[in-house]
Chain A
Amino acid sequence: QVQLQESGPGLVQPSQTLSLTCTVSGGSISSGSPYWSWIRQPAGKGLEWLGRMSTSGSTNYNPSLKSRVTISVDKSKNQFSLKLSSVTAADTAVYYCARDPSSGWPYFDYWGQGALVTVSS
């Protein structure tokens, strides 16, 4: 059973960089060549996809954030990470990591429990 767990600071100062890590357990991060995504949800609002990375290194980002977001994978640690630069209060949200098994029909079958990140001084 694949499990995902987000970790990182819960409080980030405005203009700084938000950094989160997702640790994958229950299987290799490279097994089946999945895509690994970050998705966020402001309190009481809907879901916004931020971007994804394959274990081969290809990335896709939401154009609304493209200049600020970076996703990377560390296969040796079975982890992937999110960096979001120049944050503002609008970036306050619960951040989820999720897996797309890349079965030909893209969908998210495994999710982390979510990490609340607050942007405030």
Chain B
Amino acid sequence: DIQMTQSPSSLSASVGDRVTITCRASQSISSYLNWYQQKPGKAPKLLIYAASSLQSGVPSRFSGSGSGTDFTLTISSLQPEDSGTYYCQQSYSILITFGQGTRLEIK
């Protein structure tokens, strides 16, 4: 299995802050990396696919970068509605795996 490790596990930031979440794969996954946002009681929502492609309808303050084993999700100017848990997911392997999640709290 390809293990996905996110950091930090949780963070607290203020509105307007630039926020970065990292995701590391246990082996190279090229750019087969997706990011999701999950609100409590809701299904995950796709934000970024193929490491850096913004899903239609997702605000441009979200961006993704990286390839190989190291990836980042950046929120350029944090908004109150960005609270939630963020997950990375690799699709390089047929056995799809997710990171453990990063809980983002708005101060």
Contact = CB atoms under 8 A, between A and B. Distances in A.
A112 to B, nearest CB: 7
Contacts, number: 55
B50 interface: yes
Interface in B88-103: 89, 91, 94-101
Contacts of A60: 94-95
Interface in B12-39: 31-32, 34, 36
Contacts of A105: 31-32, 49-50, 53, 91
Interface string A81-105: 0000000000000001010100001
A48 B95 contact: no
Interface of A: 37, 46-49, 60, 62-63, 96, 98, 100, 105-109, 111-114
A108 B46 contact: yes
Contacts of B107: none
A98 B38 CA distance: 14
Given A37-B96, A46-B100, A107-B50, 5 more contacts: A107-B49, A107-B89, A108-B44, A109-B55, A114-B42
A109 B36 CA distance: 10
B87 to A, nearest CB: 6
Given A106-B32, A113-B43, A49 B97 contact: yes
Nearest to B50: A105
Contact of A107 (B43, B91, B99, B100): B91
